[in-house]
Amino acid sequence: MCGGDAIGRCRDCRKLYCRQHGRVLCEACRRSHRVPMTLLAAVGTFPTATCALVGVLYKALNQNVVGPLGVAILIAAALVTVAAMMVVWRHPEGLAHAERFE
């Protein structure tokens, strides 16, 4: 496509890609996957992280989910979510990267 040596074939559209323009997916497919995959990671990670933290801190919370600890949990879950989104943004081709956070 750009004249470079092809190193692989896109998993989705089967187009050849070179070292600069693809990894598992070609550049166009990476771009089209990126936003939905990142949103998916956010939707999947945030509730999971929140539930996990609430589970871990259940005793400390003492059912006071609106207290400072509840806010801290939401902030921590948001940070985990942002981290997961950044990983997926950089690696839209690999679900395995995102699943590590779930």
Amino acid letter, residue 71: V
* Cα–Cα distance measured from residue 7 to residue 5, given in angstroms and rounded to the nearest whole number: 6
Q: Percentage helix, strand, coil, to 5, in the chain?
A: 60, 10, 30
Residue type, 4: G
Q: Rule CB under 5 A: say whether 13 interacts with Zn ion.
A: yes
Give the one residue of 7, 9, 16, 18 binding Zn ion; rule: CB under 5 A: 18
CB of 92 to Zn ion, least distance (A): 11
CB of 82 to Zn ion, least distance (A): 27
- Non-local (6+) Cβ contacts of 40 within 8 A are 88, 98
Residues 29-58: x where in contact with Zn ion by CB under 5 A, - otherwise, as a string: x-----------------------------
Q: Is residue 10 part of the contact set for Zn ion (CB under 5 A)?
A: yes
Beta bridge partners of 6: 18
Give yes or no for residue 85 binding Zn ion (CB under 5 A).
Answer: no
Site of interaction with Zn ion (CB under 5 A)? 2, 4, 10, 12-13, 15, 18, 21, 26, 29
